[in-house]
Amino acid sequence: MKRQTAHITLIMVIGLFTLLMVSCKKDTETTPTTPLAESDKNALLFMLEEEKLARDTYTYLGE
């Protein structure tokens, strides 16, 4: 009985995973994209540099 329950659970998980993957693929194909504004690019680059600095700081303090 436990083995049958495990099989059913596995099949359900695989089915849900497959359904999720299919739905994600559809969303990316139908979502329109627009180019980033220069200010958005600059803000993202600034955040990236902040994260790098934070990583380096925590690494240094953790030594």
Give tens-digit pLDDT for 13-23.
Answer: 887 777 777 66
Tokens standing for 29? Answer: 């194909």
* Rg of the chain on CA atoms, in Å: 22
Close Cβ partners of 36 (under 8 Å, ≥ 6 residues apart): 44
Q: Is the pTM of this model over 0.85?
A: no
Round the average pLDDT of the chain to a whole number and report it: 81
Under the banding of pLDDT at 50, 70 and 90, the label for residue 31 is low
pLDDT range class, residue 37, cuts 50, 70, 90: very high
